[in-house]
Chain A
């Protein structure tokens, strides 16, 4: 059977590419880390892959706002072919392929207009900006999946613990209309919640003050997923801050981390649709 191929972008201050590439390998896919400039130089082509991944990090040091400089590059920089990478990405999506952005990758997907893209015109409709705490924070949160959200990334997931590590993760929605569309189309994929799954805007359960307590967005087709939390940092049980007690209470506990489910979901989905 043909292996699912995941492309993981690196360079310019991105720094979570290795764990993201490892996630796909553990999920049974082939994964390759490619420097973004090699794509601009047309040494590498996104169309050779099934899923395009934008990892977390600090592209351009978060200067001008997180993800902004990178989004500008994608929208305006011309490749040798005369096209922008955004145009290539539109083609990529039209072929039914998938895109995942985590943390800085999510920030840049919204600034590029790929998420939530309620009108399918790639206008910027939301932004991710400074946390209400005015701090960068690394802490574990719980995520509640929107049961009406159908993106294949999140199949069979309900509540998931995951670390957030950001200073600019607060989702701000442009206006009421977009807000209504996000709700109507079920595009808010994950919300911050307590250990029992109750969604709340209470800090630090919602670590940044995001509108709709939203931690992840998808587009209407479910092909694009962007999320602030880092599932690729929870590939193993031993990433969890309470693994010691969890293991003691349940000696037969699965040693995989919950974050791996997202990667298994999408890899399985792609494999099934290949076959």
Chain B
């Protein structure tokens, strides 16, 4: 029988959460809730007696200082006239319920099943105001929960809540076979009806495979149907998905430049540009005998060498579509999923060192009517932020830097880039840690969370199929605590040499993880009945492709099995032996005695037909605008400082733990009072040395409206210059100290496959993608900065009826570079009154797509260009100046140009700057102040170091003025006053931007 326990704050205790809800309801939804009281309900389904329930409630759940407890009767007070109940839908992660189960076991000294859900938690909100159903529904769906994952009840509170989200599935583990001996239309319909996302050519390839006499023969011999099973079709669809096979990056592309009439065929963007650039660099490194590139592209994450003791492993990827429909769940699942990439690289079990996140949203004040299914950008931002907070903080991984970009083209699909770096010892139990050895007969062990219907077919899951007891599968909520226990266990197991190697279970579930590992040795047998389930009655194929989170697949040798199971039990991590690796050349999946799938590995991994795509480039027609003269530059600067893309991110940053582990040396905000934004993050690697890494992100999609090549090159340069800014050193092929640089490239583009009806400008979009790749190749091979991992996300369009909101083609370059001594790094804040201020690097008339033009609603034409030789020369000079510790502060120039960068450097008490642009204004005051030319910095230098500094920098440094202490920013142009304003006012405008 069900027992219901409610925990509610005592009346004299401030209801912090309730107060916040009252405030937000008023400001965002314009609903006056009056006072709000929050409470939590625990529905306990274990069979317990009255005394047990009372002990559990009073000792286990109640905090006696602040809580009242109600058992089988809920709190009621006529003061509160309406209510909303937020319960989870069946199958949605309920961590708090699981934790309650664990504490119940401790308190009652009982041995209970805590792996499946028996305690269901619900949140109840009581409102002073008598609100109508419409307002309560709005509160429920737009503030308190999300209808994709929550069940709501609202109205006048009667004192009863009956709903319990138990999963009940009518028993059906039947297996179907699929008749492919049909005409083309029917074949296409099979793909559509089964949600396989396989195109006609792919379906025909599969049809031909199963009609092949050799295939028919071995299927007969093995006792399988001639027709493929549902599970086999699902495995093929998953393995051949864009997500897993990157078919568009592997496609053959016919690229035409209509401006020059040049035409070329590109055989795979990935091979031609990304892989090739890194191979070239690897060859150069090998030749010089300094190969720190240990693993590229072939595993969950790339690996580089730190020293003879340790290696660095990291991965950045995206989680866009899930974040569009459930921002919190999408982001937290993205972070935790991305954490499992470095965790499951090579042998696995590395220590995760940091997270980094780059986010692209619609503007916070988006005022267009929302389309069905579209969430407001502010809501997406708050949900994603919260997901990153919980994903990082609860895992004990510092979120050390990131970036937020606003553009209404991201209002349909936000971009959520998650990156994670980690360190592995060079060897685990005598084996190089980045290797993935597997032998015939090794055991397949699944570790971590249980399997449910989560994520099957992801977002395409049709809502029509959902009833009140069907498990919610489209959206998943990550469980950081489950993963933390799993990660800690894995580290311990790897150190003890108990696991041979591992990989994560992400997209595609077991089908993907076992499939990829089986490729190494050549086959596997999987027994699905041994996979532990969250609830009964899943179909075999569902078990195999489910994307239930917080799972890893481990490869274990028989003789380590017992010790591994013992450790898992001690660490409260569930692990299960589910099969064996073989060298038969087949993936052999069974459920009890039934054959579920028997697929030829070669066909599975190499059978997918190649795509052919067309790209056509034509320069856009653009012009430079006329900007009014006699501008009030004080006002312009204030406007820029509070603009969406420049204003302070402090409120967001402070809600991320950026210093757990005690190794963060340059945090996102530094200086007295912690206000000043920094360029790259810097971390030390260990407590016994000052060796470290710098972490940066380069992204500037706005320039893509002018020139996709320069946008991509500019983003690459931005990531490099941020590392130079904090004191990093460019790679040197001949350097033998493992001074590694490693890039994750992440492309997020709109649908770029031409279709005359649905995507008429597809060829141009693809041409932009080609150009972005060409820039990647040029930048990478010039600097010897290799890609070690990355990802592409190809369909970032939000469709509703005839309306399509497509993201601008976006590339993020995330870079990590080794730092010799973190104590010698440089922060961006001005340090001491009287220090000399210089701008480094040439400023050009490049106001195209600038934040300055945006104030006037203009795009312009002149795109900032990367002048690679000049940049290289400057960066090397800065390196030299830093070797002599001549630079007191350094800040790179980006959005808003010189004026905003100088302003940011002054954001402490008693700081300011007195600037004379002098000759710099020869190119025009607007250009001097606001151009966003690349490869530039604002530095301050101690007067004592002036001579040495100028000798090194020569004409690349242009003297501007001095650091002052009067909280004033003065900028003159040849004696004429342009800006004379208080830095406090600038800081306050900047600080309020996102509020």
* Chain A residues within 8 Å of B, Cβ to Cβ: 10-16, 18-19, 22, 25-26, 35, 37-38, 41, 56-58, 60-65, 68-69, 72-73, 75-78, 111, 124-127, 129-132, 134-140, 163, 165, 172-174, 230, 232-236, 238-239, 241-245, 248-249, 255
Q: Which of B635-677 contact A (CB under 8 A)?
A: 653-665, 667, 669-672, 674
Whether the Cβ atoms of B657 and A138 lie closer than 8 Å is yes
Which residues of chain B have C-beta atoms less than 8 A from A13's C-beta? 394, 396, 480-481, 484-485
Cβ contact within 8 Å between A241 and B16: no
Q: Which residues of the other chain, A, contact B654 by a CB distance below 8 angstroms?
A: 135, 137-139
30 contacting pairs across A/B (C-beta < 8 A): A13-B481, A14-B396, A15-B484, A16-B660, A18-B661, A38-B570, A60-B103, A62-B394, A64-B96, A64-B103, A65-B63, A124-B63, A127-B63, A129-B13, A129-B16, A129-B63, A129-B66, A136-B393, A136-B657, A138-B658, A165-B657, A233-B662, A234-B662, A235-B687, A238-B823, A241-B670, A241-B674, A242-B671, A244-B889, A248-B942
* Contact residue among B65, B96, B663 (Cβ-Cβ distance under 8 Å from A127): B65
Q: Which residues of chain A are near B393, meaning CB under 8 Å?
A: 58, 136, 165
Separation of A11 and B492 alpha carbons in the complex (Å) = 11
Which residues of chain B are near A239, meaning CB under 8 Å? Answer: 659, 662, 664-665
Contact of A233 among B59, B660, B823, B827 (CB under 8 A): B660
Which residues from B are CB-within-8-Å of A174?
64-65
Question: How distant is B111 from chain A, measured CB to nearest CB, in Å?
Answer: 12
- The listed residue (A19, A22, A244) touching B831 by CB distance below 8 A is A244
In the complex the two chains form, what is the Cα distance from A129 to B658 in whole Å? 22
Task: Say whether A72 contacts B103, CB under 8 Å.
Answer: yes
Residue of B nearest to A20 (CB): B662
Pick the most buried of B16, B662, B674, B831: most chain A CB atoms within 10 A of its CB: B662
B480 in contact with A58 (CB, 8 Å): yes
CA distance A206 to B16 in the complex (A): 16
Determine if B109 and A58 form an interchain contact, defined as CB atoms under 8 angstroms apart.
no
Shortest distance from the beta carbon of B731 to any chain A beta carbon, whole Å: 24
Complex: chain A residue closest to B479, CB-CB: A61
Q: Specify which chain A residues have a CB less than 8 angstroms from the CB of B106 in the assembled complex.
A: 72-73, 76-77
Question: What residues of B have a CB within 8 angstroms of the CB of A241 in the complex?
Answer: 667, 669-671, 674
Interface status of B102 (Cβ within 8 A of chain A): yes
Report yes or no: A172 in contact with B13, Cβ–Cβ below 8 A.
Answer: yes
* Residue numbers in B under 8 Å from A26 (CB-CB): 687
Assembled-state Cα–Cα distance A232/B659 (Å): 11
CB distance from A193 to the nearest CB of B (A): 15
Of listed B65, B671, B822, residue having the most chain A CB within 10 A: B65
A37/B572 contact (C-beta < 8 A), A235-B687, A244-B670 known = yes
| Chain B min CB distance to A275 (Å) | 27
Known: A58-B481, A60-B481, A138-B659. A244 touches B99 (CB 8 A): no
Q: CB-CB < 8 A to A37: which residues of B?
A: 570-572
Do B670 and A22 touch (CB < 8 A)? no
Are B481 and A134 touching (Cβ within 8 A)?
A: no
Which residues of chain B (62-78) have a CB below 8 Å from chain A? 63-66
CB neighbours (8 Å) of A163 from chain B are 659
- Contact (A127, B674) CB under 8 Å given A10-B488, A15-B396, A138-B658: no
Contact indicator A64/B61 (Cβ below 8 Å):
yes
Return the 3 tightest CB-CB contacts between A and B, nearest first. Answer: A15-B396, A63-B99, A19-B662
**Also in contact, A165 and B660, with CB within 8 A (given A10-B488, A139-B654):** yes
Residue from A38, A56, A60, A77 having most chain B Cβ neighbours under 10 A: A60
Inter-chain CA distance A16–B687, complex, in Å, is 14
Q: Quick one: which of A14, A69, A76, A124 contacts B65, CB cutoff 8 A?
A: A124
Contact A78 B670 (CB under 8 A): no
Contact in complex: A69, B99 (CB < 8 Å): yes
A245–B63 contact, CB under 8 A? no
A16 to B, closest residue via Cβ: B660
Determine whether B939 belongs to the interface, using a CB cutoff of 8 Å to chain A. Answer: no
Contact across chains for B20 and A134 when beta carbons are under 8 A apart: yes
Are B100 and A72 neighbours in the complex by a CB distance under 8 Å?
no
- The minimal Cβ–Cβ distance linking A44 to chain B, given in whole angstroms, is 12
Q: How far is the CA of A77 from the CA of B393 in the complex (A)?
A: 28
B870 at the binding interface (Cβ < 8 Å) = no
Given A64-B99, A140-B674: A57 in contact with B65 (beta carbons within 8 A): no
Known: A58-B484, A73-B103, A76-B107. 9 other contacts (CB 8 A): A13-B396, A13-B480, A19-B663, A57-B396, A65-B63, A129-B66, A132-B16, A134-B16, A135-B654
**Distance in angstroms between the alpha carbons of A249 and B889 in the assembled complex:** 13
**Chain B residues within 8 Å of A78, by CB:** 109
Nearest neighbor of B109 in chain A, beta-carbon distance: A78
When C-beta atoms are compared, the residue in chain A nearest to B669 turns out to be A241
Given contacts A11-B571, A12-B485, A174-B65, contact A249 B674 (CB under 8 A): no
CB distance from B668 to the nearest CB of A (A): 10
Q: Is B826 an interface residue (CB 8 A)?
A: yes
A241 to B654, CA, bound (A): 13
CB-CB under 8 A from B100, the residues of chain A are 63-64
Beyond A13-B394, A233-B659, A239-B665, is A61–B672 a contact (Cβ under 8 Å)?
Answer: no
With A15-B484, A60-B481 already in contact, the answer to whether A127 and B394 are too (CB < 8 A) is: no
- Asked if B17 and A134 sit within 8 Å, CB to CB, the answer is yes
**Distance to closest chain A CB from B594 (angstroms):** 39
Decide if B832 touches A249 in the complex (CB within 8 Å).
yes
Q: Are B660 and A130 in contact (CB under 8 A)?
A: no
Other-chain contact of A63, B96, B664, B908 (Cβ < 8 Å): B96
Q: In the complex, what distance in Å separates the CA atom of A34 from the CA atom of B708?
A: 53
User: CB of B19 within 8 A of chain A?
Assistant: yes
Contact A135 B96 (CB under 8 A): no
Q: Which of B539-585 contact A (CB under 8 A)?
A: 570-572
Name the residue among B479, B660, B827 with the largest chain A CB count within 10 angstroms: B660
From A70, which residue of chain B is reached at the shortest CB distance?
B103
Tell me the nearest residue of chain A to B67, going by C-beta: A65
* CB of B888 within 8 Å of the partner chain: yes
Residues from chain B with Cβ under 8 Å of A75 in the complex: 59
Contacts of A230 in B (CB 8 A): 659, 662
B993 close to A (CB within 8 Å): no
B109 to chain A, nearest CB (A): 6
**B63 touching A61, Cβ below 8 Å:** no
Docked Cα-Cα span, A15 to B663, in Å, equals 13
Which chain B residues lie closer than 8 Å to A244 at the CB level? 670-671, 826-827, 829, 831, 889
B440 / chain A contacts, CB cutoff of 8 Å: none
CA of A134 to CA of B109, assembled, Å? 35
Chain A minimum-CB-distance residue to B99: A63
Q: A58-B396, A239-B665, A248-B831 are in contact. Are A76 and B59 (CB under 8 A)?
A: yes
Among B64, B102, B674, B889, the residue within 8 A (CB) of A124 is: B64
Contact A15 B662 (CB under 8 A): no
Q: Which residues of B contact A125 (CB under 8 A)?
A: 65
Residues in A neighbouring B61, C-beta threshold 8 A: 64
- Give the residues in chain A near B827, CB-CB below 8 Å: 243-244
Q: Closest CB-CB distance, A213 to chain B, in whole Å?
A: 16
Asked if residues A35 and B99 are in contact (CB atoms below 8 Å), the reply is no
Contact of B63 (CB < 8 Å), options: A12, A68, A249: A68
CB proximity of B815 to chain A, nearest CB, Å: 22
- The closest CB in chain B to the CB of A208 belongs to B16
CB–CB B687/A172 < 8 A? no
Give B871-904 interface residues, CB cut-off 8 Å to A. Answer: 888-889
A248 shortest CB reach to chain B, Å: 4
Q: How far is the CB of B185 from chain A (nearest CB, A)?
A: 51
Q: Is B950 an interface residue (CB 8 A)?
A: no
Q: Mark B18-33, 1 if CB is under 8 A from A, else 0.
A: 0110000000000000
In the assembly, what is the distance between CA of A164 and CA of B66, in Å? 23
Q: How far is the CA of A220 from the CA of B658 in the complex (A)?
A: 35
Q: How far is the CA of A77 from the CA of B389 in the complex (A)?
A: 31
Chain A residues lying within 8 Å of B59, measured Cβ to Cβ, are 72, 75-76
Tell me the minimal C-beta distance from A159 to chain B in angstroms: 15
Q: Are A61 and B572 neighbours in the complex by a CB distance under 8 Å?
A: no
Smallest CB gap from A74: residue in B: B106
Q: In whole Å, how far is B913's beta carbon from the nearest beta carbon of chain A?
A: 15
